[in-house]
Structures are given as C-alpha cells and as structure tokens.
Amino acid sequence: MTRRRRTRLTRCLAEAVTGLLAGAVALGVGQLTAGITGPLGSPVIAVGDVAINLTPVPVKEFAIAHFGSHDKDALLTGVLAVLVVAAIAAGLLAARRPWRGLAVLAVFGGVGAAAAVSQPGAAALDVLPTLAGVAAAALALTAMARAVRSGSLAEPGPVTVSNPGDGASLGAGAWPGRRRFLVTGGSAAAVAVAGGLSGRLLLDRFSVDASRARVRLPVPAVPAPPVPAGAALRVSGLTPFFTPDARFYRVDTDLVLPQVAPDSWTLRIDGMVSRPIEITFGQLLRMPLTEADVTLVCVSNEVGGPYAGNARWLGAPLAALLRRAGPRAGADQVLSSATDGMTISTPLETILDGRNALLAVGMNGQPLPIAHGFPARMVVPGLYGYVSATKWVTRLTVTSFARQRAYWTQRGYAERAPIKTESRIDVPAPLARVPAGRTPVAGVAWAPSRGIAAVEVSVDGGPWHAARLAAADGIDTWRQWVWAWDAAPGLHQLRVRATDSAGVTQTPRGAAPFPDGASGWDSVVVTVT
C-alpha cells in the first residue's frame, strides 16, 4: 500500500472515530443529565419508546415471537446501530464541512427532544438530557474535526504541504496533528465514560426497590384454599405448578421499568360513576384483601408458547371497588390507565360477574415485583392480559366501548378476548431423543374461568389417548397432565388437545395471535432410539 493510500485510510478512520466519540459524548452527557432530571429524558430510551409505539402490530408480534423477553434488547440494539451510523456520517462530514456534521447532530437532537416530551408524564426539563448531550457532542465533534484537519495523523516523514487550511493536505510529518487528535479524542472518551457511569449511579436514586422492601402485606381476609395434593406431578422437565417470579413472563412496551413509589401512588375511579373515588396505597392495604390462584396468558402467546404463568395473587376485589363508585347505566367498559401511559379496556360485566378480579398488591406471597406492576396491578381471570392485566395501574375510568378505545384495540385487537382453551407439551422437548419403551409425555393445559376437564394425546395422527390430569386447584389455574407412551423406535410426532369444563375441545384450526389469541394443537417431533 502506498504512503498516500495509507494516509487517506488513516484520515478516514480518524474521521469515523471522531463521529463515534462525539456520539458517545452525547450519550454519556445525556445519561448524566437524565440522572439529574429523571429517567424519562434519557435520549435513547425516549426514542426507543416512541419507536415501540410507532411499530406496526405484525412487527411487534414478530419481535415477541422471535426475541421473547429480549425483544426490548433487540430494539435498543437497533436504535444504537442507527446512532452509530449517524455518528460516523457526522464525523466524515465534519472533517470537510463542519456545519454538515453539526447539522446531523441537530437533526438527531430534535428527534430525541421530541421523543422526550412525548412521553407520558414528561415535563419541560425532560428535553435537557438531549440538549445537553447534543451540545457536548457538538463541542467534541468540532474540536476533533479541527485536529483531523490540522495535519497528517500518519507516521512522520517528508513533508508535502498544499494549503493545509482547506483540509486537502495529506502530507506526513505533522506529528503535532496526531498528538492533538489523540489528546482531544481521549478527553472525549473520558467525558463519555464518566458521564455514562455517573448518570447510571444517579438514576439508581429513582429506584423503588427500597420502598418495595419496606412493604408488609396484610393477612388476607379471604385466603386462597390450600393447593390440593396431587396438583403438581413429579415429571422431570414439566412446568412447575406455580411460576417463580423470576420466570414469570413479561410482555409490555416499557424499555425502562416504571418506578412508582407506594407513598405517592393513588388509584382514581371516575368516568360514568355516581361517586368518583381516590384510594391511596395505605388505604388499599387496609381493605379486606382476597387471595386467589390465577393463570395469566398473553395474547401474543403462540400455540405451545411460553407466555403463560400461574401465581398466587393478593388484592382487593375489583367488583367491590367499582360498586363503591357506582357505575351508571350505559357503561360497559373499564378503561384502566397505567403510569407509563398504557391503557387497557376490560368489559365491565366480566369484572362484576363474580370471578376473582383483583386490584393486586401481592404475588406469590411477596409485594408485586417491579417488573410485574408494583405497587398495584389488575388481575382478571379468563381474559388475555391486553384486556385485563394492567400493570402500574393508577386510574380506572368507567366508560363504554363506543366512547373510548384502549391502546391495543386502537391497533386492531379484539375488544373482548376470553382466553382460548389451550394445551402445551413440555416433555419431551421438540427434537428430543428419547429411549424406546415407556416414557412420559407431559405438559400443562389452561382455560381460566372455565377449567380443564380432559387432555388427550395423539401419536403420528393416530387415535387420541386420555392423559392423566393432576388435581385441579379451581377453575382459574392451569392443570398439569401426563400420558405414559410406549415409544417405538423411529421419528414420531406427538400432538395434544384439551377440553374445558364447558365441553369445548381445543380447535385444530391454526390461527395467529392477532387479533384475539392463537389457536391450534401443539405438537412436537421426537426421535425414539
């Protein structure tokens, strides 16, 4: 490679590094400022949240299906990738025409500021992280671009200079230019790292972990009946009857978990009611609370998917709270709103029909985890989560479906979405190799608010065989099941179907989750050796 070509490559790399370091400064200073003003202003998070809201439903379903609980990590990676490309472009442009690089920063600054102020609960101060980050990045970009233009960054050698002021000089020998670039770039990197780490530490002060740890749940006025003996089958690999908090599925639109202090939390019930009421967290804990075992299911759950979980919930009966407010004639919907701006619509008659619909404060014997709605959330058995399970809930508006539409119904999902009768094979796993002879086929089945009456298994499209059901813990939870299979060597397909207590058997017709839940029979292919 010739000296001229090496010099040109060195300069291009320096220009790209200039842009990357300027972008890092923007993120670091923005993070530091967000640590002072509040997490809503964090530029990347704000842009990511807007991207989630603007993403078409099919893309959201694809992300949930393929990335699972890492869907938000994938989105943030995409946002950062766009920022990296833009930063490199700003560096390349600024080395020749500084104003062009600054224009790129200004565009992304405008996008970040607009995203920040569009967040639910945002204030004017929430634009400061973006503005401060862009201002710091502009200074860093200008200084480093000047260092790139001031002389060669290559090894010293014979000097060939031609009008160095116009950026066309690539002659070697300008050792001070390299030193200036390294000092300026090193300073920018230090600012980026220090700002990012300091901002992260400052953001920790918004965490409500300590407040959650101080909450003491009362003894329930109506405890859940004991789980019957035999509700949990002893089959290796089978989903446990109760889902541990850490393994309970999480599907929401939040890149950063809402941090709601219980001392400041209130729930307002208003709308088409005779007596609007407001309840504090302390008042909620002093109410007669009910304990109930309920299986929750996300509408995004594919057939055989993981987005279902069973837990013991503690909360105030929602029906009693709504009756205290006095719904008026014509109301048929409860529009619940969360602190993150999410709205969810629930049929009023479903809450009032006698099922264990709760304003929950506890999960599996502990205060709600922050990821699952602390300090309070809704739990309504028998409905998919997008029409029932509002986390971080702060308002219940009694209204009608004709008057108001919630977040997901605005995007085409069904207004009323009872959970379909479903079953899943946990054991053996897909594509597993199992020994010939007697082997267990096991899994879970659910039809919350109706209960499971039977589960059947078919091998290679043959006759259906009745599985043995575990003992039922009421109608609102899933049931484990197992079938003893005399497995013969070869490649085999296992299928499962369930029948609920209303006599409805799971349909074989396959349907995608949109708009009211997936349907079809779960199946696995295994090799018997």
Place of tokens 């086929």: 441
Position 232 pLDDT exceeds 90: yes
pLDDT tens sequence across 110-146: 888 888 877 777 777 888 888 999 999 999 999 888 8
d(CA 526, CA 514): 29
Q: What is the pTM of this model?
A: 0.81
Q: In 3-state terms, what secondary structure has residue 422?
A: strand
Q: Each residue of 342-378: pLDDT tens digit?
A: 999 999 999 999 999 999 999 999 999 999 999 999 9
DSSP-assigned states of every residue in 330-383: T--EEEEEETTS-EEEEEHHHHHSSS--EEEEEETTEEPPGGGTTT-EEE-TTB
- In the chain, ranges of CATH 2.60.40.650 domains: 422-528
How many helical (H) and strand (E) elements, i.e. helices and strands, does the chain have? 11, 19
- Distance of alpha carbon 499 from alpha carbon 464, whole angstroms: 12
- Give me the pLDDT at residue 167, please: 42
- Burial-class residue 280 by CB neighbours within 10 Å (0-12, 13-18, 19+): middle
What sign results for the dihedral spanned by CA atoms 268, 272, 273, 276? positive
**Cα–Cα distance measured from residue 310 to residue 126, given in angstroms and rounded to the nearest whole number:** 38
Q: What is the mean pLDDT of the chain?
A: 89
- Measured in whole angstroms, the distance separating CA 521 from the mean position of its chain's CA atoms is 27
Judged against a pLDDT cut of 70, whether residue 169 lies above it is answered with no
- Say if residues 96 and 18 touch (Cβ distance below 8 Å): no
Nearest to 439 by CA among 527, 372, 523: 527
Quote the pLDDT of residue 170.
39
Average pLDDT over residues 433-447: 97
CB atoms near residue 166 (< 10 Å): 9
Judged by DSSP in three states, 220 sits in coil
* Higher-confidence position of 492 and 96: 492
Q: CATH number for the 422-528 domain, one of 2.60.40.650, 3.30.43.10, 3.40.50.620, 2.60.40.420?
A: 2.60.40.650
**Tens digit of pLDDT for each residue in 10-64?**
888 888 999 999 999 998 999 899 888 887 767 777 777 766 676 777 776 777 6
Confidence of residue 181 (pLDDT cuts 50, 70, 90): confident
Task: Give the confidence band of 1 by pLDDT, cuts at 50, 70, 90.
Answer: low
Question: Residue 172 above 70 pLDDT?
Answer: no
Residue 164, pLDDT score: 44
Q: What is the pLDDT of residues 287-296, one digit of tens each?
A: 999 999 999 9
Delimit the CATH 3.90.420.10 region(s) of the chain: 245-411
Report the pLDDT value the prediction gives residue 231, as an integer from 0 to 100: 97
Per-residue confidence (pLDDT) for residue 52, from 0 to 100: 67
Which CATH number is associated with domain 245-411? Answer: 3.90.420.10
